Structures are given as C-alpha cells and as structure tokens.
Structure 1
C-alpha cells in the first residue's frame, strides 16, 4: 500500500480518469454508487498520488477483472465491492509468497489455475451437459430495471409470504417485467440512441419495404407518454403495451401513463402479426383534442395519431449474453458432474468464457450425436399412429448398429389421446377412462420391448398436449383454457414404460421445456401459435386498401397470359416468388422473437401461471426453438441467429406417412424426414 497519507476526494475529482480508463478504453459504464466506492478506495490507497501511474494501473486491474468475470457492461456498487475484495485478497496472498491463491469462488484466478493445473487437457463428460430442464427445475431470474441486470430469485426470498400472495405479486408484475426488459434491449439498439443521426427519415418507407423498425425520423429517441402531454401537434416515437380500453379503443401503455391511439391512417411494418397484448413502437403526431376518451371526465391525455407501427427488433443471443454477464440461465453449470477446477471456480451463476469455448469445441467434435423429434399429436389410441411408430422404431433400431449414428433422445409430443380425458358422472366410467388412457402407454411399452437397442441407449421424452391429464379434466381439450406451463403426464399412467427403461431414460417433460446440450439451449413448445396469431391479428385500413389494389391489378392482368404466368413465377417487385407457407412462417418467427416471449398476448387468450412466467421468456434468444404446431406444415427459419423449426403433425389426415426431424447439434443442422408404413 502507498505510504501517502489518505485524503478526501470527491467523485467529481476522479470521474474524468475513471471515464477515460473504464468507459473509453474498456467500454464499461460506471454507475454513481460504484464511482463513490472507487473514489473512497483511491483516496485511502493512494492519497495525494491519486493521479499517479500506479493509481491508474489499479483502475486498469479493476476493469480487467470485471471483464474476465463477465459481469456485464455496467459497474455497480455491489459488484465493485466484490472485485475490490478479491484484489485485496490477491495482494495479501502475493505478499505471503503464494503463487496461486486457493480461495473458492475466486474468478480472478481462473487464468492462473487453468495454466498451472492444465485444465485444457481435461476431458469433459458431455453427459454432464446434456440435461432436460423442466420449468420447476429452471432457476428464476428477474430483471432489475435499475441495475440493468438479472437477479436470481430464491423461492424462499420473501419469508412469510403465502403462495397466493406470491402469485398475486407475480401477476401484477407480468407485463411490467416484459416492458422493462424490452426497454433495456431498445436502449442498446443503434437506431434508438439519443445521439443518433440516422438518415432514414421515413418509417413509412421501411414499412412498405417489408422491413422492421430500423431507422426513425430526425429524432429517433423514444419518448415517455407522460412527456407527450401539452405538446400538441408534435411528432413522437412511443413504446408500450398495445391494448384496449373499456370503450374498445386502442391504447398504448408504458411505465408512466397511457394514451389513446388513432390507427386509421397507420402503416404497419410488414412481416409481423399485430395483436393486443404485444409491445410495439409507434410513430405519429400528438393531438390534445380528438379521440373518444376525451369525452371522459377523468381523461386529459388527448389522442396519438399513428403513422407507422412496428415491433421492437430482437437481439442476437451472443449480444444479450454479453450484456447480461453470461449468466447461467438454466442452472446447468452448478448441476454438472464435472470435477473441473474451472467449474468449481465459477459455481452456478455465470458461464466462464474459456469454459464455454471448451464446450463448443467438444460439441463440434461429436458429429454423430442427434436428437429425433416426432411431429405433434402422437395419438396412441390410433392404429395408424401405432403402425407408424413401429416402423420408425425399427428404422432407429437398425441405425443404432451404425457407428455414425447416435440418437441421444426420442422426443414424442402429445396429445397422446385423440379425445380429451374427461371425468364423468359415473365413477365406474371415470376409472374406465383412466384405464383406457393407461392402456395406450402399455401398448407403447409392448412395441418398444421389441427394440432393445433403443431401450439401452436412447432417452424417451414425453411432452403433454391439450388432451392429456390433468388439465384436460377442466379444459376439455380447449387450448385457451389450458394452463402454461403444462405439467408432465402423471407417472401413474407410465408404470410399464418406466420399468422397461433404465433409470433416468424415461423423461416426463413439461410444456414448454428446455434441453441443454453443451453450449446450446434448445426450447420446445407445443401450442397452436399460428392460428392464434391469425385470429387476433389487427386489420389496418391500409391493409384493406392494398388488398383492393391487388384485386384490381389481377383483374386487369387476367387477359394477358404472359403477364399472368410471370406473376405466378415472380413476385410483385420482380423477386423470385416466395411461397405463402414461408411468408407466414417468417411472420410467426419474427413476431415471436421480437416480443421475446412465447405467449405475447393478453391473459384472456391464454392462461399463464405467473409464477412460471420466466420460463416463457425467450430473452436471451435460445439457440434453437422448436414449435410443435400441428396446424402448420414443417418449416425452418433463422432470425437473428436463432433457428426456429416446426415439425408439423405426426401423421396427416390422409395417407400413411409419419413426419419427424433429426437435429445434429454439432452443425446446428435439421433434417426433415418422413417414413411410409
């Protein structure tokens, strides 16, 4: 420590030096509380030499450790205290002549430990990083809007609170949490920076070009609704929740207020669905008069005339992880069975960059690993389905004899019965219904017993659908009355299957659920999303005008055979024609990922358990998102680095063709397949 006497510095004295080193050089942002702590530390350690080279080297060391530990872009007071404590311990250990400080949980020593104990030569057991994670096993992270970071929430974090009070609190915070998270994402987007001078002056042009909101008019800063009031005739960009008031008028809500929207002249950014319950960005002009809400005595907000509406653009997974400090959102690091020193150092909260690189390298080397995903609606009470499964299992059994094929798991998606399992007035009938449902799984066990290689080497994952117990007993198979997340198929129906498989190889999954495979997060959801989006999509007046123009144009071109043929082959702008199936798939994917949630609707469209809302969050984006939507044909779309796939229905209404897909994680590659029986 310096021999200089301590002095009393003010944060304003140190701010220029801290800004030059931490912000300009290392790209970090120092919060006010952290600046106060750093100022106090520098005052004590360096005294009158607070401007010296040694003092600046000390700040450099703080920045180095902060980035090494992947703590994010914002240095806060609590995190800085931990780093300073680690620096102090390191200094003491070096003074005592120790080469490597042996302190558990010390992230600043990761590099030294790796070099000394030669961790790069250690072999990772991939099985420790191949896990099925149900919602009740997934750590709950809550976004802190002040720190701009996620905090791990313990189930016992609020002592004395009942389950009902926790549920009520979670319900109130449901949309508020989504709003804060998307707001934080937008604050990082280059086209929504305060000091941005984007030359894209017309959002309407982007909308007509089929683009999302990428550039805005002269000032593209998002304004809070409370700051709009009193500025009649001014142009603004607003962000908030799109919903309706009691009179049925569209309104936009943010954290400060709400305002009525007039969308009669609005152009929408093409390529997305727009439903109430979604968070949108609108550009338009504020009017102090107009709007039906102005007739209400308690409303003085005026009306916002929307010119363009669009979605908040999604963010790539690696960018989000970098900003949130590479958190271990699935809790896989702490549950792995690895004895690695690096794993011990990082514990459960973060995934260390060197360790992640090792996982990716191992992942790429396991080229024979694959997951087999069957289409949805695997009705076990259907003879056609059982015949198709027998043919598929035979093909998998044969492939297991090939050393170039290693199916790790077979994922079967319900509903596993064609009609909802419902109670009746007669207790005898109820027992019969349950026994009938159980007998279907017994039949599946009988079929699988003839394929010993599958039983020994593959995991069988069962995902429930809307007809499966126990939710179906009150929802009667209705999708909108079915709670999400939906719990697993009860074990009472799977006794024979469980006895057939080795311990741990029969997995009862929730809906949705996640699979962690080394560095990848694979999310699987069974829901009729496409029909839900189409039913609730808002029809703008401009959409109707475009439809009429297209009809008129088609009538004029009907007599010209050459033009008619060209129209079938080429798009309106001369581009190669994109099938309608692909267009709809892209709209679905873009809407879902931009919203950052698997259910971007009001609660009236889907019952959501608020205590598990965090498992519906898709921010950061998963590596792979598998939508088991039986009403849509298979597709594969990649958006912002996230691969989104739909498998389709297991067996169509006609024909004897079974649909499934194989996923090879080493190359992030899907192969859609079908087998005739």
Structure 2
C-alpha cells in the first residue's frame, strides 16, 4: 500500500498503457505521448509499488487528468507539461509524507515514496545551475501575455487568437464594447478578491437560536449585497460594492453587474487614507430609501436612493496570497520563454520549487543594482546634458574601481525616462518643417550617443532602458504634448530616432520601453510608470460634507488657541512622534488608492484615455514586487503597502539649482537609495 516501507518496482510503459488509455483517452479525451507515458510509469512504480493497479493508483491518474483539463493544457499530454502537473500534486503530499520518513540504517536510508517522487521530478533541475541572466528580462506590453479574468472559473486565461489580438491592438481605444469589458473585468476581479476577505463573508448559522441571537444583537455579517436585491427593502441597511460614477444629471451613482442606484453622500464618512474619484470601485454602507431619490432623476427611474454612511476601498491583497489563489500563473511569460513549453500552451505556471531557488539566488547577488534617473530627461537642455556628463563620468570611475577591487558593483540597467525633448514633436503643414522637426529630435539622441562614447565601460556593461513621455513621438504628434490626449499604454520612442545610439551600444543593450514597462528580475516583478497621478487624484477627489465640517472645527479650535498653546501643541505632536508630514500622508494615500483599485488608471475615460485592448497591462493584480512612479509634480518618497514597495522618482533636474536626481535599487534586499549629484 501507499505509504508502506516497500521498495519501488520497475514498470514498463507497456504495463501502464492500458490503464492510462482507459482513464486519459476514453474517459477524458486526452492523448498521452511516449515521453509522458514513460515518466508516468516511473512515477507510479515509485509511488505505488506493487499496488500500481489498485484504486489509489487509478485515483492518482484521475487527478492528473483533471488538473490537465482544468489548466487547459491541450489534448496531448507531453513530458514537460506532465512534469509540472506532477510537481503540483507532489507539493500537496510532501508535508504529510515527510512525517512518515524512514530513518537511516546500516544498509542506508530508505526514503518514503513522496520523497522519491520529488527527487525523481526535480533531479534535472537540481543538476542544472540557474543562470540569473535568463530571468532578467524587460517586458513591454506587446510582449506580455494577454491574460484575462474568467469570472465563471475564477481564474485567468490566455487569449487564444494572438494574431487577432495584435490586429486589435492597433485600433483606437474608442471601441464601446471594449470599454464596457474594461470595467466589467475590473469589477469581477475586485469582487473575487473581496470574496476571499474575511471581513466580507456570508453569515453562517448552526441553529435557530444563533440566528435569533445575531438578529437581537445586531451583529449582521458584512455580506455584500447586489443592487438589484435592495429594491423593495425600504429602510434596510446594506453593504454595496460597485463603480462610483455620475449620471446625466450630475448625481453620484453606484453601479454593479446588476443595476445602478443613486447615492446620497451628505452624511458620508470616508475611510481615511485614500482618494475617492469617479471611476473607482468602492464599498459603501448605508440605508436604502425607496422614496429618497433626487428630483433630477428621470420619471422612469424607480431605484430609490441609497443614503451612504461610510465609504471605503476594496482592500488590496498581498502578492503571494493572490498568486496562490490564481494558481501561481506567470503573467509576464518569462518562464515560458526559457522553458521547453509548447508555444500554444494556454496556461503559464510558475514552479514553486523554481521560485524558491530564484528567491534564494537573488539574495546572494548583493552587487546587482538598477539606476533610475529622474524623469523629464530633456536631451535638448544644455544643463541636463552637463549633468549627464557628470553622472556618466562618476559611473565610469565607479565601474573601473569595482573591477579593480573585484566587487563588480556594476548596474544591470539604467532607466532613462522622458520626455526627451522640451517641446512636443508635432506635425506642420510644410513637409520641410516636418523633416526639420524630426531631424532635430533625432539629434537629441545623437547628443546622448556622443556623451556615452567617452565612457566605454558604461556602454559595454549596462543596459539602457528608454521610457517615453508626453512630448515624445508619435503620440505627441496629435496630443501636442498635452496629457489629456495621451492614452495608455504609450508606445516607445521609434527606433528610427536612436539609430546612432543603437550602433554605439552592444546588441541587446538598448531597450526601447513602453509606458508602463515591467522588468522581471529572478523572482521579482518591477513595474515602472510615468504619469501625473497625484495631480489627477487631488483634482478629482470628492469633498464630503463631513470633511468640510471637520475642517471648520479644526480652524475654530486653532483660532481659539493663543500662540503659546499652539506652539506647545506642535511641540507635543512632534516630540511624541504623532505628527506626520503632509507629503508623507499624501504619498500613502496615493499608494493605497492605486493598489486597492488594482489598476494603474482608476479613472473614467473622460479623465484618461486607455486602450481597452491593453487593459491587462494596466492591471496590478497580483501586486508587483516593486512599483516605481515617475511623477514630476511630487517629491521622492518610499512607501510599503501590503508587501509592495512603492517609490516615486521626481524630476531629473531640480529647477532651483544644478542638481541631478536619481535612485539606485538593490533587488537582493529591496533597498532604494535616493541620490543627488551636484554639478
């Protein structure tokens, strides 16, 4: 029997073929290849010994078939794919199997069958050392697998028709159907996250007495109710979840998958530490009134009004928890590129054993670092060019010193963020002017190439990642450098403008990134975004009546205090560590809002144009390991929320003095160092 201390047996594939055919082919419609049958035969012989024909062995084959079909791996079971499925099954049994592990004897240690199976599957990976360079990739949106959330299966799936998808990507982001799906996908994904949160679980009662006790005490579970289910229940209290927006009469509404309802926010208290803007998904608590609707509503509106007492955001979930719930999918496709997985495989998985190895390896690479220069790197500004000369000169000397001391403290990549021109590259009515504008823009990168040609160690060892801004082509040709007409994600700087820079750098060292862009470094996902998020949140943040009342009370209290009391209050708050600078509070609000919303653009289409076909690129679910904002209208900051470290890198050149701003990131311990270089 399984689990007994019996030696494994050596089976032949011909022995197992009839059973495998009956279970895989006749019952589940799958075809097993020769290499997969050989692997399965060896595993069954190790795991079940002389009971390889028994019920437990057949149940094991059933589980393999079910997982293969659930993960939609195709009709043909191959060796590499089967190895991944077996490792998943084995992970669940190793913990219990280790409790029965046999002890050493004079003739040697006889390990249990779970350990034997684990060794059998992992032996190839143990022998082959991991090359960290294979797991360091820059992933643009065009290279990221287009995974969408399936609300019925509660899992992500890969879009099957890649050619059709690429054609759709070129279309303008004004397709109504795509826009509707954009918000639908966000809604169902956030609702699925809430369903796992212990604060929003359905009530369960074991007896009638417990029901009566709950009703009399008022301790009703925080179950989220669909809007359609509140109709006809006048005066009842509910918790709703949906999209916050406005109707044609400028009244606030909440919309979910079933209906919408007007909101009365006159007595609303918000959960502190977040922004609240139209286009965000929020949780509201309050009382439904069948007759409390606004007079602005049309006559055929019978939904009543929802008087909101409290409003908040759907709380974010840690990266490891989300990854586990969604089957440890590889959303960047990095492991598919490296492995021998079939090109048409529809489910990308991250092996847990490999993830642990990558995490352990990155902790040993203490000398690895990334350098992120501040944004608005105007290559037509002589001050910035002088600053870049000083920066690259310093970096060249540092690389030479590290090579002499064998520390190898060389940056893996230097991220340069646009706009790369002070003025937008726009079209004119004159063909001569168009050519002149393009030539001027190209000359900016020629200037950068001239500077870098003096620093051979920098160019030969570092990758350069260029991320565009609002003044960069071709988007600037119709947006005229304005952020309102820019849509996300933004395509990279065209290669035609960087030909000289590309010839200077070794092949593969110049990477033209999109905005946003992701970097996969071993086990980490690093997301870089350039946008004026803080200004957008502040301009569109809802001002609640209770907020105004609180401000008035604070103002009255301050005016009633004399100078001595006011000074003592400030000293007391500062000395006790309770006083938090306003900019830190604002940074925390920004980070919490974006991560809770699970998207980089939690706005309506009138605030930010989003290419709906690229919605999966803007999704941050699961959370990245690290997020790097490039918001030039806000200071540098570093905030950690739910295990995700978020930093902001401000403008490259300080407007008040000749000071260059940049950040160094050390992925081995997720440490950021903000640097300033005077020149």
* TM-score, scaled to structure 2: 0.80
Are 2:126 and 1:120 equivalent residues in the alignment?
yes
1:259 shift after superposition? 0.2
Aligned counterparts, 1:548-567, within 5 A:
548-557=552-561, 559-567=562-570
- State how far apart, in whole Å, the 1-side matches of 2:417 and 2:299 are: 53
- State how far apart, in whole Å, the 2-side matches of 1:322 and 1:102 are: 24
SS in 2 for 1:387: helix
Inter-CA distance 229–661: structure 2 relative to 1 (3 Å threshold): same
1:575 shift after superposition? 4.8
Are 2:109 and 1:132 equivalent residues in the alignment?
no
Contact 2:83 2:121 in 1 (8 A): no
Q: Which residue of 2 aligns with 1:600?
A: 602
Aligned counterparts, 1:89-238, within 5 A:
105-110=82-87, 112=118, 117-156=123-162, 167-195=175-203, 218-238=220-240
Structure 1: runs of 5+ lacking an equivalent: 1-36, 39-52, 67-74, 90-100, 198-215
Q: Which residue of 1 aligns with 2:7?
A: none
Aligned counterparts, 1:317-336, within 5 A:
317-336=319-338
- State how far apart, in whole Å, the 2-side matches of 1:217 and 1:645 are: 40
Q: Compare 266-275 and 412-421 and name the one that shifted more.
A: 412-421
Inter-CA distance 107–247: structure 2 relative to 1 (3 Å threshold): same
1:58 shift after superposition? 6.0
Inter-CA distance 301–102: structure 2 relative to 1 (3 Å threshold): closer
Inter-CA distance 247–105: structure 2 relative to 1 (3 Å threshold): same
- State how far apart, in whole Å, the 2-side matches of 1:537 and 1:618 are: 22
Match of 2:453 among 449, 457, 465: 449
Aligned counterparts, 1:246-325, within 5 A:
246-292=248-294, 295-325=297-327
Aligned counterparts, 1:361-376, within 5 A:
361-376=360-375
- State how far apart, in whole Å, the 2-side matches of 1:533 and 1:583 are: 14
- State how far apart, in whole Å, the 1-side matches of 2:321 and 2:381 are: 46
Would you say how many aligned residue pairs link Structure 1 and Structure 2? Answer: 581
1:639 shift after superposition? 0.3
1:487 shift after superposition? 0.5
SS in 2 for 1:284: strand
- State how far apart, in whole Å, the 2-side matches of 1:115 and 1:148 are: 29
Q: Which residue of 2 aligns with 1:399?
A: 398
- State how far apart, in whole Å, the 2-side matches of 1:465 and 1:438 are: 15
Inter-CA distance 196–480: structure 2 relative to 1 (3 Å threshold): farther
1:400 shift after superposition? 1.2
CA-to-aligned-CA distance 1:142-192 (integer Å, 9 cap, x gap): 100110000101344869997769955422201000000000000000100
Q: Which residue of 2 aligns with 1:461?
A: 465
- State how far apart, in whole Å, the 2-side matches of 1:160 and 1:671 are: 39
CA-to-aligned-CA distance 1:577-599 (integer Å, 9 cap, x gap): 11111000000000000000000
Q: Which residue of 2 aligns with 1:15?
A: none
Aligned counterparts, 1:56-67, within 5 A:
none
Contact 2:242 2:254 in 1 (8 A): yes
Q: Compare 443-452 and 161-170 and name the one that shifted more.
A: 161-170
Inter-CA distance 396–490: structure 2 relative to 1 (3 Å threshold): same
1:665 shift after superposition? 0.7
SS in 2 for 1:400: helix
Are 2:658 and 1:656 equivalent residues in the alignment?
yes
Inter-CA distance 444–348: structure 2 relative to 1 (3 Å threshold): farther
1:667 shift after superposition? 0.6
- State how far apart, in whole Å, the 2-side matches of 1:499 and 1:159 are: 32
SS in 1 for 2:595: helix
- State how far apart, in whole Å, the 2-side matches of 1:497 and 1:161 are: 30
Aligned counterparts, 1:495-574, within 5 A:
495-557=499-561, 559-567=562-570, 570=573
Q: Which residue of 2 aligns with 1:584?
A: 586
- State how far apart, in whole Å, the 1-side matches of 2:440 and 2:333 are: 38
Q: Which residue of 1 aligns with 2:419?
A: 415
* TM-score, scaled to structure 1: 0.81
Match of 1:631 among 615, 630, 633: 633
CA-to-aligned-CA distance 1:600-650 (integer Å, 9 cap, x gap): 000001111111111000000000000000111100000000000101111
- State how far apart, in whole Å, the 2-side matches of 1:238 and 1:673 are: 46
Inter-CA distance 483–143: structure 2 relative to 1 (3 Å threshold): same
Contact 2:280 2:603 in 1 (8 A): yes
- State how far apart, in whole Å, the 2-side matches of 1:80 and 1:454 are: 45
Inter-CA distance 390–103: structure 2 relative to 1 (3 Å threshold): closer
SS in 2 for 1:462: strand
SS in 1 for 2:519: strand
Contact 2:157 2:347 in 1 (8 A): no
- State how far apart, in whole Å, the 2-side matches of 1:367 and 1:379 are: 32
Inter-CA distance 609–61: structure 2 relative to 1 (3 Å threshold): same
- State how far apart, in whole Å, the 2-side matches of 1:282 and 1:108 are: 42
SS in 2 for 1:620: coil
Inter-CA distance 115–58: structure 2 relative to 1 (3 Å threshold): closer
SS in 1 for 2:601: coil
Are 2:490 and 1:486 equivalent residues in the alignment?
yes
Contact 2:420 2:469 in 1 (8 A): yes
Q: Which residue of 1 aligns with 2:106?
A: none
Contact 1:196 1:220 in 2 (8 A): no
- State how far apart, in whole Å, the 2-side matches of 1:156 and 1:168 are: 21
Contact 1:294 1:301 in 2 (8 A): no
SS in 2 for 1:636: strand
SS in 2 for 1:480: coil
Inter-CA distance 624–217: structure 2 relative to 1 (3 Å threshold): farther
SS in 2 for 1:434: helix
Match of 1:425 among 425, 429, 432: 429
